[in-house]
Amino acid sequence: MTLKTLGAKKAAELDQELMSEDGGFSIDQLMELAGLSVAQAVYKVHPPPTNSQSKPKILIAAGPGNNGGDGLVAARHLHHFGYTPVVYYPKPTNQPIFTGLQKQLHKLSIPFLTTPESFTSELQSADLVVDALFGFSFKPPVRAPFDSVLADIIQAKKPVLAVDIPSSWDVEGGPPGEGLVGHEFMPEFLISLTAAKPSVRWFKGERHFIGGRFLSKAIADKYGLDVPDYRGVDQIAEVEVGVKVEKL
């Protein structure tokens, strides 16, 4: 088996095509579908216990871009799935789509952490961390305040689900060099959105999912992608870790 991957340029082109007049999607729709996929991946790797009053605490670290927006959407779905989501969003984006997502979470009484100290404290009791800091457009190195956020996540040694690519990784080149923040960052779980990115060749975690069940066969064929074998109502499909990677 060969896993076909999209580099940053092709991934951006695909997003633009989906959101074109001919493609018909809006950024809101794509973010909603991505966030739902993230929430379902959490459910797969850490299902809530049945017949229990205890709700797993999921700590979502959200960055300033669309990757962070995916995390905010996931927090809403996780609340309805039976979890206790907690959000750390240190640099909120002042755009309608992001302010709307925050309002939705406030209406559900989902807590937002406001200080680095509160984030560090919440990490100690979290059952799982969602890394939604940076996506495929990220360019190293990690800058403040996110360098401290990522360092805290690594030090806490909690299970992590990374959204699209592990934060601090270059979409093409993988983990940063020795001595840089994120050099030793290896999440247990990864959910690639729409398609895996080339950096997945360095992923040595436990489970890898593809999420985003919205590509038509025509679009997938145009970009040389294989549509995953989604089952039933699933928005994600699990793929084998460590398979040969082909960049398109």
Annotated binding-site residue? 24 = no
The confidence score (pLDDT) of residue 222 equals 93
Contact 21, 204 (CB under 8 A): no
Annotated binding-site residue? 145 = no
Annotated binding-site residue? 164 = yes
Annotated binding-site residue? 141 = yes
Mean pLDDT, residues 168-183: 92
pLDDT per residue over 43-96, tens digit each? Answer: 999 999 887 678 999 999 999 999 999 999 999 999 999 999 999 999 999 999
Annotated binding-site residue? 22 = no
**Number of neighbours of residue 28 by Cβ within 10 angstroms:** 14
153-170 per-residue burial string, b: 16 or more CB within 10 A, e: under 16: bbebebbbbbbbbbbbbb
**Helix-helix angle 116-125:146-156, to 10 degrees:** 20
Annotated binding-site residue? 187 = no
DSSP code of residue 15: H
Would the pLDDT of 42 be above 80?
yes
Contact 126, 157 (CB under 8 A): no
DSSP code of residue 182: T
Average model confidence (pLDDT) across the chain: 94
Structure token digits, residue 204: 């040595």
Contact 14, 4 (CB under 8 A): no
pLDDT per residue over 180-235, tens digit each? Answer: 889 999 999 999 999 999 999 999 999 999 998 999 889 999 999 988 889 999 99
Per DSSP, helices labelled H in 135-179 are 146-156
Mean pLDDT, residues 129-152: 93
Annotated binding-site residue? 66 = yes
pTM of the model as a whole = 0.96
Annotated binding-site residue? 229 = no
Annotated binding-site residue? 137 = yes
Structure token digits, residue 30: 């794509």
Domains in the chain with CATH codes: 2-45+54-247 (3.40.50.10260)
Min mean pLDDT across 104-108, 215-219, 235-239 is at: 215-219
Annotated binding-site residue? 51 = no
The confidence score (pLDDT) of residue 212 equals 84
The confidence score (pLDDT) of residue 73 equals 98
Q: Containing H/E element for 72?
A: helix 66-81
Annotated binding-site residue? 90 = no
